[in-house]
Structure 1
Amino acid sequence: MNLHGLAFPDDLLYAPEHNLWLREEADGCLTLGLTAYGCALYGQIFAFTPKRDGQRIEQNRSFGVVEFAKAASSARSPLSGILHSSNAEVVRRPALINQDCYGSGWLVRLIADDLALLKTQLLTGAAARQAFAERMTRDGFDPQAEGVQVLGD
């Protein structure tokens, strides 16, 4: 799916209020990453500092800090669980987040406390597209504005 020039792959789960995508992995972990909309809002990302592997992360609490042009923001988790691993390559080369947010630019992998419950709270497909469209309207998002980095398919 594509919205205002921003890609949102159909095979992912989304937490629009966190600007995150999630993907269930074969080992039961969930990979989390910043959406193209999050990248467009932040602009060029200069650093990602995750919490320690093995640390417990509570829902709506930080799993790391994303630093961009003139500010920093806590990356907040849509789920509770254990931080299984962080993307060491993104820590070394944070530009990967902007270059490939749905691929090599992923942020962390978590082991969810209750994956079945989580799946009922996350969005896919048309519901995700609608939620992001509403969020963009609330945010006054203008993909043509100076400094907005639009990442397509």
Structure 2
Amino acid sequence: MSEILTLHGLPFPAELLYAPAHNLWLREEPDGSVTLGLSAYGCALYGEIFAFTAKRAGLHIEAGRSFGVIEFAKAASSARSPLAGMLVEGNPRVQEQPALINRDCYGEGWLVRIRPDDWPATRADFVSGEQALAALVEQMRLDNFDPQAPGVQALQWKS
């Protein structure tokens, strides 16, 4: 495992890319697809996740449009893609065991894989490392995030 950066006790692996406004992380895969998952910050905001339903594989997803629905604490939210591309697959394990998202958001709890329309051009839209932490600090400010608020669940990172 690479370096883990932390912010308010939340872990952020330095090698991943982040889309802070979407509360997502991204990982480039050898086959050209990109894996997306909910970041530790997203998990802290949503709390316990009860269900995730991905849209069907083969659909073209536009940037800013939904790739699935996340259900949490008597509410639901569209998971919106930070990039355009074809939905390759939803994570079947997460659909059967949504608690994986909270327990292992950067590992087995990934959400979907997308084959981006233009990854070389789109990749520059995402941040990593210290740049990601700075962007997350700004997103938390915009969200009025209080890490001490009741209901905020900090993840216990397994190192």
Once residues 54 and 119 of structure 1 are traced to their aligned partners in structure 2, the CA distance between those partners, rounded to angstroms, is: 21
Cα distance per residue 1:42-95 (max 9 Å; x no partner): 000000011001111000000000000021000000100000011000000100
Structure 2 SS opposite 1:127? helix
Query: Equivalents in 2 of 1:94, 1:152: separation in Å?
Result: 17
> 1:64 maps to which residue?
68
Shift of residue 138, structure 1, vs aligned partner = 2.0
| CA distance in 1 between partners of 2:25 and 2:40 (Å) | 9
Structure 2 SS opposite 1:53: coil
Equivalents in 1 of 2:39, 2:54: separation in Å?
Answer: 17
The secondary structure found in structure 1 opposite 2:13 is coil
**TM-score, length of structure 1 as denominator length:** 0.98
2:150 is paired with a residue of what secondary structure?
coil
Of residues 119, 122, 141, the one that matches 2:145 is 141
Deviation at 1:142, TM superposition (A): 1.7
> Which one of the candidate residues 40, 52, 56 is aligned to 2:56?
52
Separation in structure 2 between the aligned mates of residue 113 and residue 66 of structure 1, nearest angstrom: 24
Superposition CA RMSD, Å: 0.8
Q: Which residue of 2 aligns with 1:30?
A: 34
AA of the residue aligned to 1:72: A
2:81: which partner in 1?
A: 77
Counterpart AA for 2:120: A
1:18 aligns with 2:22: yes
Q: Residue in 2 aligned with 1:103?
A: 107
> What amino acid is aligned across from residue 39 of structure 1 in structure 2?
C
CA distance in 2, matches of 1:132, 1:152: 19
Is the aligned partner of 1:39 residue 2:43? yes
Q: Where does the alignment leave 5 or more consecutive residues of structure 1 unmatched?
A: none
Percent of aligned positions that are identical: 63
- TM-superposed deviation, 1:152: 3.8
* Gap runs ≥5 in structure 2: none
* SS of the residue 2:71 aligns to: strand
Please state how far the C-alpha of 1:126 moved relative to its aligned partner.
1.3
- Give CA deviations for 1:125-144 in whole Å, capped at 9, x if unaligned: 11110010111122221222
